[in-house]
Amino acid sequence: MSKAKITTKKKTTTKKTKEKTRFDGRKANELRPLKIESSVLPNADGSAYIEMGRNKILVGVFGPREMHPRRFAKPNEATLRCRYHMSPFSVDPRRSPAPSRRDTEIGMVMNWAIEPAVFLEKYPRSVIDVYAEVLEADGGTRTACINAATVALVDAGIPMRDLVSSCAAGVIDGQIVLDLGDYEDKEGEADVPVAYLPKLGKITLLQMDGILPIKVFTDCVDLAIDGCLQINEIQREALKKKYGISEEAEE
Amino acid sequence: MSKAKITTKKKTTTKKTKEKTRFDGRKANELRPLKIESSVLPNADGSAYIEMGRNKILVGVFGPREMHPRRFAKPNEATLRCRYHMSPFSVDPRRSPAPSRRDTEIGMVMNWAIEPAVFLEKYPRSVIDVYAEVLEADGGTRTACINAATVALVDAGIPMRDLVSSCAAGVIDGQIVLDLGDYEDKEGEADVPVAYLPKLGKITLLQMDGILPIKVFTDCVDLAIDGCLQINEIQREALKKKYGISEEAEE
Amino acid sequence: MSKAKITTKKKTTTKKTKEKTRFDGRKANELRPLKIESSVLPNADGSAYIEMGRNKILVGVFGPREMHPRRFAKPNEATLRCRYHMSPFSVDPRRSPAPSRRDTEIGMVMNWAIEPAVFLEKYPRSVIDVYAEVLEADGGTRTACINAATVALVDAGIPMRDLVSSCAAGVIDGQIVLDLGDYEDKEGEADVPVAYLPKLGKITLLQMDGILPIKVFTDCVDLAIDGCLQINEIQREALKKKYGISEEAEE
Amino acid sequence: MASKSGIVSRLKRRKIQEVLGAGNRMDGRALDEYREITLKTGPMEKTSGSAEVTIGKSRVLVGVKVQIGSPFEDTPEKGVLMCNAEFTPIAHPTFEPGRPGENSIELARVVDRGLRSAEILDFGKLSLIDGSAVYMVFVDIYVLSYDGNLFDAAALAAIAALKTAKRPVHTVKAGVITLTKKTQALKILRSPLAVTLAKIGDTFMVDPTADEEEVLDARLTVAFDEDGNICTIQKGGSDGITTEELHKALELAQVKAAELRKHL
Amino acid sequence: MASKSGIVSRLKRRKIQEVLGAGNRMDGRALDEYREITLKTGPMEKTSGSAEVTIGKSRVLVGVKVQIGSPFEDTPEKGVLMCNAEFTPIAHPTFEPGRPGENSIELARVVDRGLRSAEILDFGKLSLIDGSAVYMVFVDIYVLSYDGNLFDAAALAAIAALKTAKRPVHTVKAGVITLTKKTQALKILRSPLAVTLAKIGDTFMVDPTADEEEVLDARLTVAFDEDGNICTIQKGGSDGITTEELHKALELAQVKAAELRKHL
Amino acid sequence: MASKSGIVSRLKRRKIQEVLGAGNRMDGRALDEYREITLKTGPMEKTSGSAEVTIGKSRVLVGVKVQIGSPFEDTPEKGVLMCNAEFTPIAHPTFEPGRPGENSIELARVVDRGLRSAEILDFGKLSLIDGSAVYMVFVDIYVLSYDGNLFDAAALAAIAALKTAKRPVHTVKAGVITLTKKTQALKILRSPLAVTLAKIGDTFMVDPTADEEEVLDARLTVAFDEDGNICTIQKGGSDGITTEELHKALELAQVKAAELRKHL
């Protein structure tokens, strides 16, 4: 039975129905348990640890620092350089430690998701490295990486226009649900990861794989943005806990 | 039955006998259908497309341009840099897109075949890149690449001493034949690719694999040179079609 | 039957017992046949060939020469750079010519073993390359490489504080034996390669794999040092043969 | 796909934005207008299927090869689809020979994800001996000329090549695989087509050129199947878009996808 | 693990030696005193076993995975142990992403040699079908933070992860391997633990920090099993040691290994 | 094999040409004169066969290993020959450790093509189980010292090593391969030997030194079998040759090949 068949049939019923309970007992619009902690790495300029469901991810920020080789430096702004990497034991079966094409692509979309939030123009010719290490993966790693990277950037004292918050929504058995875990991810008809800048009202990450009518897709985006707003609060809490007040970090 | 046995037995009869017809109906001294077109790539400084039998090859020339890193630049002349590359789908079965040792060797012999024809001394410290992309392969790709590269160099406005023309001859069933296609290539006792500069009377590519008495080998070279002269005319036509007159490009 | 069981049981009897004869008829404290010759490579600044048992190893020294890229140069001394490499046919079955992790580690420990003996401070900003090529391997290649490298360094005219001499000792069937060949290496309970600077009384290479009580281990080290001292004489002979007198090379 | 921070890029951007301010594009096109598109299927004889697409001066050749190989460990009874993209150095002066860069990896991944999420093949029918021998479908994207919008060209060429591909037919008897002389179409179940929009300043436009891609703020690629469903989305570029912009962009893309489909 | 020849390193060394001259260390520790050690087993759910160790600000995570694979050619009836170490770029500003460097290769090799020479597993019992299917035990050392003494942290984390690891259980019938729902402990036969000493000038100290490693003259790592036997030795650093120094170092290391063992 | 465009090379070239003008070579040899050649077979005990050749100060060691492996897909019932060349960094100050460069690839390819086109082995007899287990013949060319003319040295060493090689003998019963204690010669059917000529200005000479190779205009390598047939030709260098020059060169090469053969 193909995905499209399901989603097309259920088109009329996919309006954030919240009756069915999910694999892990969550409601359709409920996030997985989320925990963010900043300043967790002694040698990084900024860092954060996130648990989002069973995802366990460390992000370290280094910089602004000098770009090597210098000819890659941008004359008017800093270069943001995101790297996404998974530990060999983060998934089953074990994966090779060499970067995959998927890793490269996720590094690119992380970069695009975060760049609009950073005052890069304050650090011409320099580089800001954001290294995300996925220690354990449970679906939605890219959104978790973006959430942690944002907190780590603030932790590094880098001035931000806004906090980037990221979350996916998807469709399972015709129902739109928030923040899919990996059991759901594999079963689901579609997955829509989104990153959002609440102050600026901008979507900075948007991907989708699956088969969805436009309306269902945009409903997914709306639900994912709802999730982002919830996560934004948690990010602020994590920073407040560390700094007393998070506002100054956002200008 | 080993190759040498055949060729030694047939030694007396290998004098360009033209009785037998070939796999594809050609005469022994007949080229495969040949088509060359120049200026086919919008972003290259010069380019050419060749169909030689079922070979389909695009060549792009970039330069003269600055050499990076500079320490590899030659103080008194330009560096010619030929690259031979096959698409994954050019052969059966599919090949890896990573360059093979064969690719590297063919790039080297292309370089040597073409260098003597180029006024490299006019562009000290610079580099001229010649990139050959084999889209479909049908035996004799290196000769086809050289033919197209020459036209592409003229198309790029690079002054040439002569047009390099290239063709193979070989021995099949004791008969010397011109311009082997891949069915013949695999069956043949020997294959002798040659590149020739007609004005200067110089052989600039010469390779051979097989087992041949000297006399048969030199007969092959002679026949291949005949083929080169025919191809030279076709190259001139291709350039004339584009530029009205090809002579100016050769000084 | 595990290694530890053996070595623990035999602890009291492992005092350099010399009764048993070995696979190749040697006594417990007897070196394998050893031959060192210097100045064997025409293009190296210094070189040596060693046969130690069936090990056949060539070492070439190049330098002191300019370090590329320059930013890796040390301002106050030369950089010693040892490379350990095995020919594909040096072992059975054939190995890949690409360097293995073991090769990298042995290059590191060779470096540490030899560095203390070289007056690196005489050649600031330069590099001394020591390339060891194992043509045939027979157990104890790293010790043989160090012995040959030392002779090659003197041959290159590089001033040395001392000649580094290297030899392993190990435990087989509870007996401590000197300079294990590869048949013994695979059977043995432990192998302890040592490099020693006789004048300075310093151990500069020390590794061990196996399971040994401290006392047995230090007995192995003592026996290995005995072996080093014997080898030191052979190194001096090799240099004397070439230069008449080896003392000047050591300051 | 160069950096937009250099001086040349900034001048280029200023010029493009000036023209956009007057509702025009540098090459005179309307914002919702594609350049000329050509599609040729079957140009390569040694493939199972092939197609060449040009969009303006961009040119992409796709070759499909179907061969026998080993299945993935976690899907032992299924055939395999592999997408690969090569940016040949003849396509643009800034493309260098060598390992695939980020942009070619993204191109291959987006086309691959599009084909996979549209479930174009019944992979369960592409197994010969479960666990050991299945059909591998290689889709090689060969970029011959670059002037922007490779996503749409590659997606169109890929599906056109797949739809016209003929795979070899093998028989299996007592564990022995024998090649027959027959071939058979791949049976493509769905045909996703990609539409790419660029946002420069506040203006959206379809089918960006290389110059427009160099200076764009955001890029949105949407693949649609024949029923108008979205199969894949990829947002690129270092600016965000609002939900309103998204809605308009999706509507425009859906219309353009239907237009593109006429070429198939 | 930077070069000790730079100006910064030489100033650092002078300072460290001054303090050592008075019998102290920069962080106030005694020469034979470890920093605070923590060990947590089982932090990663998707592994067969895992452990995280911190020694001061150094932090190492080890994940163990047990899977089915092919045996080595020369030991067709034995399971396989593979150690790998990754210096993640978050661990230190000087660590760059990319291929493993010399230091991570040495770390993996020393831990690997320690486990192997201690014969921690009965590899003969880890074969399912001799010659074609055996259990592969992957030990991945993931360095999350570097402040010296990775050898001791990695060796402790590795053995702790292995001792708590549960491997899948398969049945073999007529050459067909079937996964059961059972798991079973790996049965670790011996537990080697590493103790690293640094020599700066003529002074030996345990558990060197990153600063101490940067300026050290010699480094000695000794792994001991539970009976006090030595399993592996690795000397590093570009100065030698005398036999007297070796004897004292071994005695000290043996005492410290017994202390470390309390964390297991 | 360095570039001939540097100042040093141009001075070198002027000097070599001056001397050639008087009919001489820098080392006093005649134009058709080889340097001293030595050949030693069997120096390496752990190989199936080995040979070391010196030509002047050039020195090449070839090791042959015969092992069981998988056949190529398109020749399932044939054994496999693999040639590999390594330019060790001890051979010349300009050789750097690392990946094989262009020159070592060309050397391996030319020797490989020579052996292959001469059909030195009956590959059909080197299969144990068609499609799954055949003998692999590895020919590893190890360049220990470089002073020009590696082609001739490597070709001579390769065929000498192959002619004296003894492969293991296995028995096959019911699909099970068992190693016996017997060995057996490889049965080399033909012995191609290469002769290399350099052209500097208008002068041809055999057996070029490193200096001569650095400044040469053209290079011609011709391999002959024992009947005087040509097996392989490789022209190198960035100048062409006329057909007259070719004829003379081939005659000279044929004579020299016969001389070289006396060393075999």
Alpha helices in B10-140 (DSSP H): 101-114
> Would you state the torsion angle of the CA atoms of residues B152, B153, B156, B160, taken in this order, to the nearest 10 degrees?
-140
Q: B19-40 burial, b for 16+ CB within 10 Å, e for fewer?
A: eeebeeebebbbbbebebbbbb
| Segments in chain C below pLDDT 50 | 1-18, 246-251
* C-alpha count within 13 angstroms, C-beta hemisphere, residue E249: 30
Q: How do strand C190-197 and strand C165-172 relate by DSSP bridges? A: antiparallel
One-letter amino acid at A132 equals A
Place of tokens 């300026």: E215
Q: What is the pLDDT of residue A19?
A: 57
From B1, B6, B15, B46, select the one nearest B175 (Cα to Cα): B15
Model confidence band, residue B251 (pLDDT cutoffs 50, 70, 90): very low
CA distance E198 to E196: 7
- B32 pLDDT higher than 70: yes
Q: Does A43 touch chain E (CB under 8 A)?
A: yes
| CB nearest D225 (choices: A197, A200, A211) | A211
Q: What is the pLDDT of residue C188?
A: 82
Q: Which residue of D has its CA nearest to B87?
A: D142
* C-alpha count within 13 angstroms, C-beta hemisphere, residue B207: 26
Q: Does A93 touch chain D (CB under 8 A)?
A: yes
H helix or E strand, kind and range, residue A60: strand A55-66
Q: What is the pLDDT of residue A245?
A: 52
CA distance D81 to D121: 9
The stretch A71-95 carries a mean pLDDT of: 95
Q: Does D76 touch chain A (CB under 8 A)?
A: no
Three-state secondary structure readout of chain F:
CCCCCCHHHHHHHHHHHHHHHCCCCCCCCCCCCCCCEEEEECCCCCCCEEEEEEECCEEEEEEEEEEEECCCCCCCCCCEEEEEEEECCCCCCCCCCCCCCHHHHHHHHHHHHHHHHCCCCCHHHHEEECCCEEEEEEEEEEEEECCCCHHHHHHHHHHHHHHCCEEEEEEEECCEEEEEEEEEECCCCCCCEEEEEEEECCEEEECCCHHHHHHCCEEEEEEECCCCCEEEEEEECCCCECHHHHHHHHHHHHHHHHHHHCCC
Q: What is the pLDDT of residue F23?
A: 86
Residues F29-46 pLDDT 10s: 999 999 999 999 999 999
Q: Does E138 touch chain A (CB under 8 A)?
A: yes
From E185, E189, E203, select the one nearest E239 (Cα to Cα): E203
Q: Do C3 and E119 touch (CB under 8 A)?
A: yes
Q: Which residue of F has its CA nearest to B108?
A: F102
Q: What is the pLDDT of residue C19?
A: 57
* C-alpha count within 13 angstroms, C-beta hemisphere, residue C80: 25
Q: Do E89 and A62 touch (CB under 8 A)?
A: yes
Q: Which tokens go with E154?
A: 């990695």
Mean pLDDT over each residue of chain A, to the nearest integer: 90
Q: What is the pLDDT of residue A205?
A: 98
Q: Do F237 and B7 touch (CB under 8 A)?
A: no
| CB nearest A212 (choices: D229, D234, D235) | D229
What is the least distance, in Å, from the CA of B91 to any CA of chain F? 13
Q: Do D190 and A115 touch (CB under 8 A)?
A: no
Model confidence band, residue B1 (pLDDT cutoffs 50, 70, 90): very low
- F159 pLDDT higher than 90: yes
Q: Does F2 touch chain B (CB under 8 A)?
A: no
Q: Is the peptide bond before C69 cis (omega within 30 degrees of 0)?
A: yes
Q: Does E227 touch chain C (CB under 8 A)?
A: yes
Answer whether A7's CB lies under 8 Å from A174's CB: yes
| CB nearest F246 (choices: B76, B115, B221) | B221
Q: Which chains touch C (3 or more CB pairs under 8 A)?
A: E, F
Q: What is the pLDDT of residue C111?
A: 98
The stretch A187-207 carries a mean pLDDT of: 95
What is the least distance, in Å, from the CA of F90 to any CA of chain C? 5
Residues F69-102 pLDDT 10s: 999 988 999 999 999 999 999 999 999 998 889 9
From B206, B220, B208, B129, select the one nearest B171 (Cα to Cα): B220
- E124 pLDDT higher than 90: yes
DSSP-derived secondary structure for A167-220: EEEEEETTEEEES--HHHHHH-SEEEEEEEETTTTEEEEEEEEEEE-HHHHHHH
Q: Do F5 and B75 touch (CB under 8 A)?
A: yes
Q: Does D214 touch chain B (CB under 8 A)?
A: no
Q: Does C44 touch chain F (CB under 8 A)?
A: yes
CA distance C26 to C178: 9
Q: Does F75 touch chain B (CB under 8 A)?
A: no
The stretch B105-119 carries a mean pLDDT of: 98
Residues B94-103 pLDDT 10s: 999 999 999 9
One-letter amino acid at E44 equals M
Phi, psi values for residue E150, rounded to 5°: -70, -30
Answer whether D222's CB lies under 8 Å from D192's CB: no
Q: Which residues of C touch E234 (CB under 8 A)?
A: 109, 206-207
Q: What is the pLDDT of residue A11?
A: 38
The stretch E96-114 carries a mean pLDDT of: 95
Residues B51-81 pLDDT 10s: 999 999 999 999 999 998 888 899 999 999 9
Q: Does E43 touch chain C (CB under 8 A)?
A: no
| CB nearest E105 (choices: C104, C192, C197) | C104
The whole-number mean pLDDT for each consecutive block of 10 residues of chain D, a chain of 264 residues, reads 64 92 93 98 96 98 96 92 97 92 97 94 95 95 98 98 97 92 96 98 97 96 97 97 98 98 95
From E128, E151, E147, select the one nearest E260 (Cα to Cα): E151
Model confidence band, residue A7 (pLDDT cutoffs 50, 70, 90): very low
Q: How do strand D230-236 and strand D218-224 relate by DSSP bridges? A: antiparallel
Q: Does E90 touch chain A (CB under 8 A)?
A: yes
DSSP-derived secondary structure for D61-119: EEEEEEEEEPPPTT-TTS-EEEEEEEE-TTS-TT--SSS--HHHHHHHHHHHHHHHHTT
What chain B holds in terms of domains, given with CATH numbers, is: 10-243 (3.30.230.70)
One-letter amino acid at D120 equals I
Q: Does E178 touch chain C (CB under 8 A)?
A: no
Q: Does F89 touch chain C (CB under 8 A)?
A: yes
Flag whether the ipTM exceeds 0.90.
yes
Mean pLDDT over each residue of chain D, to the nearest integer: 95
- E118 pLDDT higher than 60: yes
Q: Does E44 touch chain C (CB under 8 A)?
A: no
Q: Is the peptide bond before D208 cis (omega within 30 degrees of 0)?
A: no
Answer whether B134's CB lies under 8 Å from B48's CB: no
Residue D176 to residues D173, E53, F101: CA-CA distances in angstroms?
A: 5, 53, 42
| Cβ neighbourhood burial of B152 (10 Å; 0-12, 13-18, 19+) | buried
What is the least distance, in Å, from the CA of C47 to any CA of chain F? 9
Q: Does B62 touch chain D (CB under 8 A)?
A: yes
Alpha helices in chain A (DSSP H): 3-9, 101-114, 141-155, 182-187, 214-243
Q: Which chains touch B (3 or more CB pairs under 8 A)?
A: D, F
Q: Do E230 and C213 touch (CB under 8 A)?
A: yes
Domain ranges of chain D: 17-261
Alpha helices in chain B (DSSP H): 3-9, 101-114, 141-155, 182-187, 214-243
Q: What is the pLDDT of residue C245?
A: 52
Q: Do B88 and D64 touch (CB under 8 A)?
A: no
| Strand runs labelled E in chain D | 37-41, 49-55, 58-69, 80-87, 127-129, 133-145, 166-173, 176-185, 193-200, 203-206, 218-224, 230-236
Q: Does F46 touch chain C (CB under 8 A)?
A: yes
One-letter amino acid at B54 equals R
Residues D123-161 pLDDT 10s: 999 999 998 899 999 999 999 999 999 999 999 999 999
DSSP-derived secondary structure for D219-234: EEEEEE-TTS-EEEEE
What is the least distance, in Å, from the CA of D178 to any CA of chain A? 31
Q: Which chains touch D (3 or more CB pairs under 8 A)?
A: A, B
| CB nearest F47 (choices: C41, C42, C89) | C89
Chain centroid to CA E35: 16
Q: What is the pLDDT of residue D5?
A: 60
CA distance F264 to F261: 5
Q: Do F90 and C44 touch (CB under 8 A)?
A: yes
Answer whether A250's CB lies under 8 Å from A231's CB: no
Q: Is the peptide bond before E43 cis (omega within 30 degrees of 0)?
A: no
Residues E239-252 pLDDT 10s: 999 999 999 999 99
Q: Which residues of C touch E220 (CB under 8 A)?
A: 206
- E39 pLDDT higher than 70: yes
Model confidence band, residue B3 (pLDDT cutoffs 50, 70, 90): very low
The answer, yes or no, to whether F and C have at least 3 beta-carbon pairs within 8 Å is yes
Q: Which residues of E touch A93 (CB under 8 A)?
A: 65, 67
Q: How do strand B126-136 and strand B55-66 relate by DSSP bridges? A: antiparallel
Q: Does F178 touch chain B (CB under 8 A)?
A: no
| CATH domain D17-261 topology | Ribosomal Protein S5; domain 2 (3.30.230)
The stretch F190-211 carries a mean pLDDT of: 97
Q: Is the peptide bond before E192 cis (omega within 30 degrees of 0)?
A: no
Place of tokens 């002074």: E203
Q: What is the pLDDT of residue D9?
A: 83
Q: Which residue of C has its CA nearest to F85?
A: C97
Model confidence band, residue F66 (pLDDT cutoffs 50, 70, 90): very high
| CB nearest B87 (choices: D93, D142, D146) | D142
Q: Which of E54, E59, E90 should we substitute to test contact with A (largest number of A Cβ atoms within 10 Å)?
A: E90
pTM score: 0.94
Q: Does F142 touch chain C (CB under 8 A)?
A: yes
Q: Which residues of F touch C129 (CB under 8 A)?
A: 89
Q: What is the pLDDT of residue E167?
A: 96
Q: Do B136 and D45 touch (CB under 8 A)?
A: yes
Q: Do E240 and C208 touch (CB under 8 A)?
A: no
Q: What is the pLDDT of residue C9?
A: 33
Neighbours of F183 (CB within 10 A): 12
Q: What is the pLDDT of residue F4?
A: 52
Output the furthest CA–CA distance in chain E (Å, rounded): 71
Answer whether C58's CB lies under 8 Å from C49's CB: yes
Q: What is the pLDDT of residue D86?
A: 97
Q: What is the pLDDT of residue E4?
A: 52
